[in-house]
Structure 1
């Protein structure tokens, strides 16, 4: 065996491949370190500057007027929760059902191919274009901004993420599992819902969480749809405050109090999404082990 190893070492082709392998591993490791360094830098800056804006007033008071002390982001927090929650309720069933159709019924259908193409376009479309679309179709016709308009805009962003994730996850289910279910006499819709979807539910939920994480920080669509509201408002048919727009406006302002609230809101959004992802992964990993 040692002679075989020595002969490989003496082979120039083998030495070249080994060198390229080590160079590739080294470059990949360096790229990972650079990415982690920037990530730690961003999170560290956010934590250092945002921790000063976290207080009880942040959750109990509304946004303050310019050049005033105190205040919070209660109206923006409630508005974001309402719009993101409503968007999740809309995009989750639509996206999952569309993904099931593409994976189960649309393998050779021209309609499914067109749907996949449109979904890919929607995934890469700038969010401001979607905001302008909802503004032209809905806001311009009803003559006012509203929380529902913002919900529709971010739903159009979330649905393609859920569709593609569900479609890709269902394709990972082995055909033998489907064939076993068919052999037991299960109809196709039940195989899709009770067998394939259940087998990849953790991945589908991850896709939903990715969609929630993306729409939680979208600012451009909400500027043209929900706009903003300095006062507390739970009526989705009126202009509604939301964290992304408030963070954008306060961060660009010359007032120190507003900038502090913007950092606190950014920290709140970031760690809320992080906590949601960690919770979902923990729960579903425990169910998988059981």
Structure 2
């Protein structure tokens, strides 16, 4: 078999000092990248192993069927904070999803023609990077302080403000992946712009948009700081969103620092529930995101 002849430049490349310097930089960079990845995976594995070891013992039927125990009481579970978290996260998702998707459609469809769209992108980026405790303090100042009491609605509004920019940014980015030829074909058939946006572009990337919603839900499921200033907590079972309501993040924070062993055990069990719930949402979102945008 004939071999491809090696040119003089290619043969001399390994002896070139510039080539050797770049090769050395490449190898050093790869080594540091691998070490950083290994360190991150090691810390993550350590956290998950500790969580499983200490939280698995608290998993039982009573954890899901009994309310939180009183101070010094035995047994108990996390029924009331689980229900409270489901209520607040569910309502927050119902609020943030349509607002975020419609805002993302506006940015993708009219973003290059409007100063309002540029301002919206700027505010969205700020909200994405803002600490969650600042959003909690904001809702406390404009809502809790005015109505005079903590409530589940206040907590819902706080985590909604955290979820909205995630949905907006994901929707905007996904719609930009739709080929211009698909839009032009729809326009050539006489479809109005709003139909092209909703029935063509959005439908083409629906899996990616759903991914953004799931990522937003995963983000707000474990938020503690904003709920401390808005929903606070409730030791008893309650579905009244106009009053303080129990929720998993705050209960975990409270029980983890308590002197009671059963409270600490419940805190580990709650942390394990949230961790695996968020993990399941992320796996589901990655599965949906694996679908390709039609070309």
Q: Tell me if both proteins adopt one fold, taking TM over 0.5 as the criterion.
A: yes
Q: Which moved more, 1:55-64 or 1:190-199?
A: 190-199
Taking structure 2 as the reference length, what is the TM-score of the superposition? Answer: 0.93
Shift of 1:82: 0.3
Unaligned 5+ segments in structure 1 are: none
Shift of 1:103: 0.8
1:157 and 1:92 mapped to 2: Cα distance? 12
| Counterpart position of 1:74 | 79
| CA shift digits 1:124-158 (9 cap, x unpaired) | 11111111111121112222211111101100111
Equivalent residue runs for 1:226-237 within 5 Å: 226-237=231-242
SS in 1 for 2:22: helix
2:205 and 2:49 mapped to 1: Cα distance? 35
1:149 aligns with 2:158: no
| CA shift digits 1:179-198 (9 cap, x unpaired) | 12212222111111122212
Equivalent residue runs for 1:1-290 within 5 Å: 1-4=5-8, 5-282=10-287, 285=290
Shift of 1:30: 1.7
SS in 2 for 1:240: coil
| CA shift digits 1:233-261 (9 cap, x unpaired) | 11111210000000000001111110100
1:284 and 1:108 mapped to 2: Cα distance? 29
2:199 and 2:34 mapped to 1: Cα distance? 41
| 8 A contact 2:69–2:77 mirrored in 1 | yes
1:88 and 1:202 mapped to 2: Cα distance? 17
The change in CA–CA distance for 1:65 and 1:214 in structure 2 (over 3 A counts) is same
Taking structure 1 as the reference length, what is the TM-score of the superposition? Answer: 0.94
Shift of 1:13: 1.6
SS in 2 for 1:241: coil
1:9 and 1:145 mapped to 2: Cα distance? 69
2:30 and 2:174 mapped to 1: Cα distance? 29
Shift of 1:278: 2.2
Q: Report the number of matched residues.
A: 289
1:82 and 1:59 mapped to 2: Cα distance? 15
Unaligned 5+ segments in structure 2 are: none
SS in 2 for 1:29: helix
SS in 2 for 1:195: helix
1:284 and 1:166 mapped to 2: Cα distance? 12
Shift of 1:214: 1.2
